[in-house]
Structure 1
Amino acid sequence: MKTIKNLGLSACFMTILGLAACGQDKGSAKKDTAKISGNGFAVLELFTSEGCSSCPPADELLAKIQKEAQGKDIYVLAYHVDYWDRLGWKDIFSSANYSKRQQQYGSWFNSSQIYTPQLIVNGKAEFVGSDEAAIRNAISNQLTTKANISLVLHAQPDGGKLKVHYQASNAVKGNNLLIAVVQKNAQTKVERGENAGNTLSHVQIVRQIQNEPLSSTGEGNSIVELPKGFDTQTWEVIGLIQDQSNGEILGVAKADLGVGAIAKK
């Protein structure tokens, strides 16, 4: 069983046998989102599930940070894992691909166990997803760490597909481009499982991910399948450049599908 330094936080751990163990949530300190305007960025990846009773506080914290992050170099992604689905409630947003991504982080972090809610910042540090003070501190630290790689994305929906052109500067061999298609908001009335009877709100739900090696020049084109219900107003596309040797996220960009403008870092 994995040890968490702050025993006051709540998390549910999945052992190798698939059993869950949950701690008690005693709350966390409140602090303003980092207001630093530096040369860095913070990518927050939350692994969560509608079937996990410890996850709603982390989902709520992510929503608060997302709201405060407007205009800042903070990028939020919520992956709904599928290993909770067999325990009473099937999360409609869950995917085995997101569980595999979390398992890959376990390999990069040299950890044999995975848990929810787990939040990873820039692919370098992991926290219980409701540990507000630690997460905000990590965001502040990353915003002051200058990015060495810049990424520009141009994305254009075409029927049921998304045509993506990317250009990465200073990219090196061993880096991959991950393209995430994200639904900005959703609500679910949970009927069974640990959250039975609750209506859960979600933000920045990853509905599709595509992971591929960067081209040797750092520039190329990709075609991504679009999920059912996609539109250019309530969804967005975020691209990450990730070191495949250790999981560190080196660059990030978001495409504004409404007007075609591109934000970059």
Structure 2
Amino acid sequence: MMPRLLASLTLLVTLPVAAATSRPVVVELFTSQGCSSCPPADAYLSDLTQNRTDVLPLAFHVTYWNNLGWKDPFSLDLATQRQATYAQRFGDGSYTPEMVVDGATGLVGSDRSSAEIAIKNAKDAGLTAAPVSAVRKGNVITVSVGAGSGNARVVLVGYDPQHVTTVGRGENGGRTLKESNIVRSYQLIGQWSGKSVVFNPQVPIGEKGAVLLEAPDGHIVGAARVTDES
């Protein structure tokens, strides 16, 4: 009986650790089609999208380049506002391309080596308040957040996997840009305060979806891609 009991206790101890390390690291890129420095960062985000399942890359297209020769068709006020919130926290102002890893670390988006270090550090930290799952059935998504400690905003993000755009004017005039995981919508669907909870939002604007848990300090403490019901 004793070996069996010890094995059970070991399983109980190790399960939360496995759950805490399984969620993807959220990588946000603040970018614009009007910025000539952004294509290398866009290419890096595309590489992460195509080659990494342990990372959830999201491209937020900002609006403050729109009056400089080219209006980015995917720019959103919410992207500009979100970056401004990070700028206030980090004290570095808003610039493109900027990459933010797990809501905790800001860096130049085309600096692959620094980004890889930040992603590794986030994975090693394993900062996860609760498990999250999101399943789409028809026009409704069932978002489940498990029990844990703390509290967080529950956010639903809609994004398109890829777009190819021929830029007519501005700093990238004449270039054809291939961009990945472009955010099309971002909405608060509820609050989580430590107890298991389920939300049933409508499918957001965007071909794909993801759910984020955002702690009061802005750190990402949970994340999941939306999957289709099998």
Mapped to 2, the partners of 1:212 and 1:108 lie a distance apart of 24
1:255 matched to 2:219? The reply is no
Corresponding residue of 2:36: 53
Equivalent of residue 139 in structure 1, options 69, 94, 119: 119
Corresponding residue of 1:29: none
Bigger Rg, which one: 2
Mapped to 2, the partners of 1:169 and 1:106 lie a distance apart of 31
Shift of 1:252: 0.5
Mapped to 1, the partners of 2:218 and 2:145 lie a distance apart of 20
DSSP 3-state at the match of 1:140: helix
DSSP 3-state at the match of 2:125: coil
Equivalent of residue 211 in structure 2, options 236, 239, 247: 239
Runs of 4+ in structure 1 over 6 Å off = none
Equivalent of residue 98 in structure 2, options 118, 124, 132: 118
Corresponding residue of 1:196: 173
Query: How big is each residue's C-alpha offset from its partner over 1:127-157, in whole Å with a ceiling of 9 and x where there is no partner?
Result: 1000010001111222222243211222334
1:221 matched to 2:199? The reply is yes
Shift of 1:171: 4.8
Mapped to 2, the partners of 1:194 and 1:96 lie a distance apart of 21
Mapped to 2, the partners of 1:126 and 1:101 lie a distance apart of 13
Query: Higher helix share goes to which structure?
Result: 2
Moved more, 177-186 or 142-151: 142-151
* CA 118–144 in structure 1, closer or farther in 2 if over 3 Å, else same: same
* CA 157–84 in structure 1, closer or farther in 2 if over 3 Å, else same: farther
1:66 matched to 2:49? The reply is yes
Shift of 1:222: 4.1
Contact 1:171–1:218 (CA<8 Å) still a contact in 2?
Answer: no
Q: Share of identical aligned residues, percent? A: 31
Corresponding residue of 2:21: 39
Q: Report the count of equivalent residues.
A: 208
Q: What is the TM-score normalised by the length of structure 1?
A: 0.73
DSSP 3-state at the match of 1:114: coil
Amino acid across the alignment from 1:255: V
Query: How big is each residue's C-alpha offset from its partner over 1:46-103, in whole Å with a ceiling of 9 and x where there is no partner?
Result: 000000010001000111122220xx32111001111111111111111101111111
Mapped to 1, the partners of 2:138 and 2:80 lie a distance apart of 27
Amino acid across the alignment from 1:39: T
Q: What is the TM-score normalised by the length of structure 2?
A: 0.83
| Structure 2 gaps, min length 5 | 1-19
* CA 214–171 in structure 1, closer or farther in 2 if over 3 Å, else same: farther
RMSD of aligned alpha carbons: 1.9
DSSP 3-state at the match of 1:65: helix
| Structure 1 gaps, min length 5 | 1-37
